[in-house]
Amino acid sequence: MLRIVIAGGSGFLGSALAEVYAEEGHDVRVLTRSLAPGRSQHDSGTGVPGVTRVGWAPDGAAADVAALVSGADAVVNLAGESIAGGRWTAARKRAIAGSRLAATRTLAAAIEAAPSPPAVFVSGSGIGYYGAHGDEPLTEATPPGDDFLARLCVEWEDAAKPAARRGVRIVLLRTGLVLEKSGGTLAKMITPFRWFAGGPLGSGRQYMSWIHRLDWIEMVRWIVQSPSVDGPVNATSPHPVTNAAFAKALGRALHRPAVLPAPAFALRLALGELADALLIGQRAIPARARQRGFHFRYPEIDLALRGIFGE
């Protein structure tokens, strides 16, 4: 039995990861701000040991959190405000950055202070790390870009690294677009297709680096159980596609046309700087996962969407 601590375990990714571990009989502790620090609550229906939610304050203080991570087999850090949750105003960008950096610094400090530090610290990051590279394939060796997301990802990853001083294996999980119809970006993209108004964003030539949520979950679990895997890992399918190809694949899965593009100027008007992240894209390749033998259940976009929509 493993003890897994997940920060951000109530979200689209963390809740699914916690559920899979709990179903296998592992002890899952979800750190949440919805409970007062130190309070705990067991999720009914998850069995024993199941999922226990524990209150925490990601404010940089290590002492209280150190007791929560001590003795864990793995700490998985997914905490942070949604990047695609709204227009990128100055206040929104501060919230996106601040929530990630505060949580990561708190966890890293707690791991350093823990009497028995975890074996591995899997800390979230994103393929936004690479910035704009057109259609160039991007591996974990590609240097960072210099836009808002790239600078944030660099600082976010740096915040996790002090945990290595205790000999903890650190994996920086650079996640792409995670696909599942119950949430995330795909759930928002479905609506215009349902109304026969779907299509590519802007030119459609920008690449989308995606991964099925089941493959993302299995990659995290593989990382936890693979002592030789450390450093940055791209959590993306081995076959990224252009936005136009993605729109066509989604249209096929939903039996809808994909011919009405969303103009770039309209996206920028509606979303501000967030639109640039959607219009630039990245062609990220999971080089390290493939080199170390990770097997993708859904490597192709049509296969992934058929799995999601049951077609």
More confident residue, 60 or 53: 53
pLDDT at position 267 is: 56
pLDDT tens, residue by residue, 192-224:
888 877 888 888 889 999 999 999 999 999 999
Measured distance CA(1)–CA(270) in Å, rounded:
48
Q: Which of 11, 266, 283 is nearest to 136 (CA)?
A: 283
Give the Cα separation of 229 and 292 in Å (integer). 8
Number of H helices, E strands in the chain: 11, 14
Domain 3-183+209-238+284-297 has CATH 3.40.50.720: yes
Q: Is the pLDDT of residue 296 over 60?
A: yes
- pTM of structure: 0.94
pLDDT at position 277 is: 65
Query: Which of the two residues, 279 and 129, has the higher pLDDT score?
Result: 129
Q: Please, how many CA atoms are within 13 Å of residue 197, restricted to the half-sphere of its CB?
A: 6
> Across residues 106-112, what is the average pLDDT?
96
pLDDT at 29: 96
Does residue 77 register a pLDDT over 60? yes
Residue 271 reports pLDDT greater than 70: no
Q: What is the mean pLDDT of residues 127-151?
A: 94
pLDDT of residue 194: 82
| Mean pLDDT, the chain, integer | 90
Q: Name the more confident of 90 and 265.
A: 90
For residues 45-64, average pLDDT: 87
Distance CA 206, CA 306 (A): 23
CA dihedral angle for residue 202, residue 178, residue 5, residue 54, rounded to 10 degrees: 70
What stretches of the chain adopt beta strand conformation (E)? 3-7, 27-32, 40-42, 51-55, 74-77, 120-126, 137-138, 169-175, 177-179, 207-208, 210-212, 231-235, 241-242, 283-284
Between 263 and 155, residue with greater pLDDT? 155
Residue 78: predicted pLDDT: 97
Give me the mean pLDDT over the 86-105 stretch.
Answer: 89
